[in-house]
């Protein structure tokens, strides 16, 4: 059985099991056309988006949006698109933009945005760019995120450090980490000042704090650049300093075998077992839920060079029109509404995040309970904010880097050797994908802002190298 046959069969099964995933006739509710919206959020995040949906439904009398919460949404959405039975509109993550667009799975939005007045000036630049593929918009942003340094002020105070002064450089981070690390009588780590592998969600990103980037242009992998090697050597230095077996025992004892559980009381930062970590804006929600009495702070994560300031990873959630959307015009009306300032602030306030829009009301800042929300918002506007490149091989590239960082942390390969291997393997994969897109005449790197904007917003910044 071919892969295409399997995909279509899966889509057919889904059409029987999932509301809104059928070759349906138009449905009406009290004279309104019903459109189906698939979204991944649950809990308070899902409730915040439901409030936006309710506000849209109350704002007019022609369209009724039915929001359906969907687990593993990205997989089910691709299957439904392949089978010709997609929902009208769906919510994904920004890193899906390039893979979905390059597979012709989502509809372009540039013309619709132009007519609606949704211009570049309306958004923070990084979120405008994250919704593009080769100069064409395929998504609208919803809730945004940036990363920052989180630190435990109580542990700083106990170690004799100023609890209100976070490290300003990587060298200071290393120095603070040593003072904050504790051992038992068998030299087992019982409290870590900092470890690059905790929480481990963005192991691909460390090179940016050393002035590096993953790709030098849309067709060239640059994993083995001097800056990336320097970052990898820094990661390995923690294993050399604390012993890779001791580090692994510490991580295993905290996570009970899972390296990436950060939304529970077991999270080592929330439990007071790790004093500093890089985390996204949503970290505030976990602190409030699982460690409400914690004294904590958030600031830009320090860079290797003092002149490289405001480095932060950015991403966002998105709304897209699936290829084959039964009612794209009506779905677009909802998407436009969700990107209005009023609706966007309603959603982002419900998520305790900042807005991806260029303008934010005073009321939004006053109501947002996150005490460091402006830190994250300002990082989104930094000249050194970055995101994973919008490459069609994003999924494979991400996984390859992740696996390679494990080999660097356990010291089984030298950083230079490990990164060269990533470059060779991923360059071969990228070359294959570029050839495929060129045959389809859909490869237009000259229209892409990936290399300049998403690797680092302003590559012309002069960074002094040691």
Contacts with 395 (C-beta within 8 Å, 6 or more apart), sequence order: 99
Helix, strand, coil percentages, rounded to 5, for the chain: 45, 15, 40
d(CA 202, CA 235): 13
Q: Which CATH class is domain 3-144+315-386?
A: alpha beta
Picking from 314, 197, 292, 206, the residue whose alpha carbon sits closest to that of residue 246 is 197
Question: Are 3-144+315-386 and 146-313+391-454 in the same CATH fold?
Answer: yes
Domain ranges of the chain: 3-144+315-386, 146-313+391-454
23, with CB counted inside 10 A (0-12, 13-18, 19+), is exposed
DSSP state of 273: S
Q: How many CB atoms lie within 10 A of CB 84?
A: 13
Return per-residue pLDDT of the chain as tens, 466 residues: 444 444 444 444 444 445 555 456 899 999 999 999 999 999 999 999 999 999 999 999 999 999 999 999 999 999 999 999 999 999 999 999 999 999 999 999 999 999 999 999 999 999 999 999 999 999 999 999 999 999 999 999 999 999 999 999 999 999 999 999 999 988 899 999 999 998 888 999 999 999 999 999 999 999 999 999 999 999 999 999 998 888 888 877 766 554 455 567 778 899 999 999 999 999 999 999 999 999 999 999 999 999 999 999 999 999 999 999 999 999 999 999 999 999 999 999 999 999 999 999 999 999 999 999 999 999 999 999 999 998 999 999 999 999 999 999 999 999 999 999 999 999 999 999 999 999 988 898 776 554 444 444 333 333 333 3
Cα separation values, 231 from 169, 195, 212, Å: 13, 13, 8
> Number of helices and strands (H, E) in the chain?
17, 15
Superfamily of domain 146-313+391-454 in CATH is: Periplasmic binding protein-like II (3.40.190.10)
Nearest partner of 420 among 399, 400, 393, 392, judged by Cα = 400
For residue 407, how many other CB atoms are within 10 A of its CB? Answer: 16
């Amino acid at each position: 059985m071919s892969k295409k046959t399997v995909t279509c069969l899966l889509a057919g099964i889904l059409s029987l099991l999932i509301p809104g995933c059928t070759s349906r006739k138009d449905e009406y509710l009290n004279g309104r056309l019903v459109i189906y919206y698939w979204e991944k959020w649950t809990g308070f995040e899902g409730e915040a988006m439901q409030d936006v949906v309710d506000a849209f439904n109350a704002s007019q009398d022609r369209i009724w949006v039915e929001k359906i919460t969907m687990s593993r949404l990205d997989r089910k959405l691709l299957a439904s698109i392949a089978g010709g039975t997609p929902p009208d509109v769906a919510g994904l993550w920004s890193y899906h933009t390039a893979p979905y667009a390059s597979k012709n799975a989502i509809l372009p939005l540039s013309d619709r945005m132009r007519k609606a007045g949704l211009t570049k000036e309306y958004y923070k630049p990084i979120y405008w760019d994250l919704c593009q593929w080769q100069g064409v918009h395929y998504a609208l942003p919803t809730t945004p995120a940036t990363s920052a340094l989180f630190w435990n002020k109580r542990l700083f105070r106990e170690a004799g450090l100023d609890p209100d002064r976070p490290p300003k450089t990587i060298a200071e981070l290393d120095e603070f980490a040593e003072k904050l690390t504790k051992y038992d009588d068998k030299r087992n780590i019982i409290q870590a000042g900092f470890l690059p592998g905790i929480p481990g969600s963005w192991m691909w990103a460390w090179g940016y704090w050393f002035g590096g980037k993953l790709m030098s242009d849309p067709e060239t992998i640059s994993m083995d650049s001097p800056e990336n090697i320097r970052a990898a050597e820094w990661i390995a230095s923690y294993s050399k300093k604390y012993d890779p077996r001791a580090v692994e025992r510490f991580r295993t004892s905290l996570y009970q075998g899972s390296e990436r559980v950060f939304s529970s009381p077991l999270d080592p930062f929330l439990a007071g077992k790790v004093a500093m970590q890089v985390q996204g804006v949503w970290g505030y929600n976990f602190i409030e839920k699982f460690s409400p009495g914690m004294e904590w702070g958030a600031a830009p994560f320090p860079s290797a060079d003092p002149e490289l300031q405001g480095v932060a990873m950015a991403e966002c959630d998105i709304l897209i029109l699936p290829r084959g959307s039964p009612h794209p015009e009506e779905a677009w009306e909802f998407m436009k509404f969700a990107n209005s300032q009023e609706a966007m602030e309603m959603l982002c306030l419900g998520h305790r995040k900042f807005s991806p829009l260029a303008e934010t009301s005073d009321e939004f800042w006053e109501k947002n309970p996150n005490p460091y929300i402006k830190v994250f918002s300002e990082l989104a506007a930094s000249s050194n904010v970055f995101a994973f490149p919008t490459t069609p091989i994003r999924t494979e590239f991400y996984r390859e880097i992740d696996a390679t960082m494990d080999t660097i942390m356990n010291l089984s390969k030298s950083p230079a050797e490990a990164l060269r291997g990533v470059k060779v393997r991923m360059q071969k994969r990228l070359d294959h994908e570029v050839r495929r897109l060129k045959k389809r005449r859909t490869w237009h790197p000259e229209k892409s802002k990936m290399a300049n904007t998403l690797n680092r917003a302003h590559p012309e910044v002069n960074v002094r190298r040691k």
